Amino acid sequence: MCGILLRGPSVAFADIMKFRAKVTGKDCLDLFIQVSSTVARLVKVCVLRVCPNRMCFGSVGSGGLQEARLWCEVQQRAFQQFHMEGVLEGLNEIHLELTAEHLSRAARSAVGASSLKLQLTHKRCPCLTVVVELASPLGRVRRVMHDLPVRVLPRRVWRDCLPPSPRASDVSIYLPRWRTLRSIVERMVNVGNHVLLEANLSGRMTLSIETEVVSIKSYFKNLGNPPKSAVGVPQNRDLESMVQVRVDNRKLLQFLAGQQINPTTALCNIWDSTLLHLVLVQEDVSLQYFIPAL
């Protein structure tokens, strides 16, 4: 297994990092393609965080909430092979910065492939090497290799790569049917730049937009709410009280149009007039998107 040797003034010794993973089978390959495509639609440059039990994609920059932020986790069980060695035994992680579209393009070349391999290599510069194996009609295996340049992030910036961790939300509610929600937000984008989203603990949600010449409001009911204890919502909160947040319409549509993972659970958390937190969960993947209030 190849490794990256990192040296610098802040490193008192050589830190060797190694990473290798393999995806096989149509379902797992499709999932990885969907994840990489989703990440590329939401961010231009991403941080790839590799841990012993999962691979994470996050937004670049500080961990604040002044702008929309992404956090996506893919569990180790989605890979047929997964091995990594981090900086130190007590810091068993690897943080890389790369162009999200480069990874998405490499992953898309695995449509119809027999396997996809990921490996941390050094070819004039640190690279995430993606090797796609394609079977030909004659039974021969053709390999397509993509060397994606990456920047190895030093430990001092790791904290900035973590997802936001705000207090318990004021309201948590399941999202309505995806196509319906996306269609409504698409129409609202043509009317104005800001959308007001309101929800309560009785399964009701509204989306509205208002300008000097037009007002649009969509109502949803019986959406359901997760158990309050599961999401940290205060037990004494009024079930009918509406909590609201106004966000950038384009950011909301970017998320609704960009996700490709076909979630089994789609959840919306709201911090009153502060933050919209969208959560998608599939068996081996979770995707979070944080949109700050305007």
List b or e across 275-294, with b for residues whose CB sees 16 or more CB atoms inside 10 angstroms.
Answer: bbbbbbbbebbbbbbbbbbe
| pTM for this model (two decimals) | 0.89
Percent of the chain with pLDDT over 90: 71
On the question of pLDDT at 45 being above 90, the answer is yes
pLDDT of residue 30: 96
User: Averaged over 157-172, what is the pLDDT?
Assistant: 86
Instruction: Return the structure tokens found at 249.
Output: 């319409």
Alpha carbon distance 266, 70 (integer Å): 15
Spatial contact of 265 and 173, defined as CB atoms under 8 Å apart: no
Distance between CA atoms of residues 173 and 228, nearest Å: 10
- Alpha-helical (H) ranges within 47-163 are 100-108
Closest CA to 265 of 287, 245, 243: 287
